[in-house]
Amino acid sequence: MFKSLYFRVILIYLSIVFISVLTGFLSALLLYGADGSIEMESELQEKAALIIDLYERTQPDDLPEFMETAAQLSLLNIELFDAETGETVQFNRGEDTLLSKLDSTVTIPWYTGDNRYQLSVSNDLPEGSGMELTVLLCIILVTGSLLVLVATRYLVKPVKAVTSVANQISTGNFNVRLPEGRQDELGSLWTAINDMADDLGQLESERQEFVANVSHEFQSPLTSIKGFSTMLLNEKLSEEEKRRAAQIIRQESDRLSRLSDNLLKLAALDAGSHAFHPVTFDISEQIRRSVLAFEPQWINKRLQVEMNADKTLLTADEDLLIQVWTNLMSNAVKFTPPGGKISISIQTKREHVEVRFFDSGAPIPVEDRERIFDRFHKTDRTRNRKVDGNGLGLSIVKKIVGLHKGSITVCTTNNDGKSFVVRLPKS
């Protein structure tokens, strides 16, 4: 229970009250110590003796009237106890209050004639007690205030730490951390801030990497375009050389166009601005059309392409999924060596449809199987330098599959090629 900040604040408040009252009580003992009590009792005994002596000298007929008059004149509270009858009579006694409990009282025996009495004499708070009470209250107030200042510093210190870390995070320093180990609400807040700093640091690293990759992907074709356009200005070039330079400029321009289109698609998918229109259609027919669209490329590389699929109905966004099959088929054609094999199969499971794209190209290393879906990631930049692509295709695929509440994985069987497996819910 005491791990909660709420109960801790209550405990601190009650402790301050208790310590302040205890300090005031100890101060009262110092102000009204034993010496003061003895002096007060001696004074009361003298006054009680004077009252008895005055009665013995005057011998008034009415004892109660005498006692009442004496009590009023001396500003004392008198209590007379008759030992024979057991009766107690009070004189000049006001109402009992909290302060009346602080009154000093002296009781002495009194024998007059055949009567035996006990005379109790007490007084109200002495003169100046109001000032002393004021001092006492000031002591309690000062003690409480000092304790509140200390407790406030204790409570505010972790809040200041949070503020300091938040300010550093706002300036871009995502490596700063708050100490962990607290078990109260502040501990939960510190953990959340540390997690936020981790996430922001990761996002910043991804942003910087993204900017660097985009700059690189744009810079390479732009450099080629600039170089070959400069060559075209050379009048000594043959027609064949000019034609080759123009073809390269066109290829690099197409590469820039595809890169721009992919970036726009990713931006639209990230922002959720792409309208989602699910319809029921035959997914096998859609994949077959996507495969046939690459027929010139796989015929040129003498690839063996097979597709094993029956009619399979699926409820999904048709326009988005065709982008998935197009990107997967494009990758399969690009990374399958000449004379290799591409196989596409569709299986209907209990709750989902499984689409598998297999190619006999080089398998993907285990350490890269998760990162291949990151933007601009390429498993082997040196080997694939001449392979057209910008590393955005699989990112788009994963994003679209995720929008359909599905999954995509890559696996290798006996180090012979690789398979991209897409699982989509039936509805």
| Residue-wise pLDDT tens digits, 28-81 | 656 655 455 667 778 888 888 888 888 888 888 888 888 888 888 877 888 888
Beta bridge partners of 307: 344
pLDDT of 160-210, one tens digit each?
Answer: 888 888 888 888 888 888 887 777 777 788 888 888 888 888 878 767 766
349 Cβ neighbours under 8 A, 6+ residues apart: 423
> Do the beta carbons of residue 334 and residue 362 sit within 8 Å?
no
Give the distance between the most distant pair of CA atoms in the chain: 155
Q: Which residue stretches of 281-352 are H helix?
A: 283-292, 295-300, 318-335
For the record, the structure tokens of 400 come out as 């679209």
pLDDT of 321-354, one tens digit each?
Answer: 988 898 899 889 988 999 999 999 999 988 899 9
Domains of the chain: 32-126 (3.30.450), 178-274 (1.10.287.130), 278-425 (3.30.565.10)
pLDDT of 286-322, one tens digit each?
Answer: 999 988 888 888 889 999 999 988 899 999 988 889 8
Query: Exposed (0-12), middle (13-18) or buried (19+): which is 354, by Cβ within 10 Å?
Result: middle
Of 350, 372, 374, the closest CA to residue 420 belongs to 372
Q: What SS3 class is residue 56?
A: helix
Task: Quote the CA–CA distance of 30 and 48 in Å, as a whole number.
Answer: 27
State the SS3 of 82-132: ECCCCCEEEECCCCCCCHHHHCCEEEEEEEECCEEEEEEEEECCCCCHHHH
pLDDT, position 31: 60
pTM of the prediction? 0.50
Task: Quote the CA–CA distance of 101 and 121 in Å, as a whole number.
Answer: 14
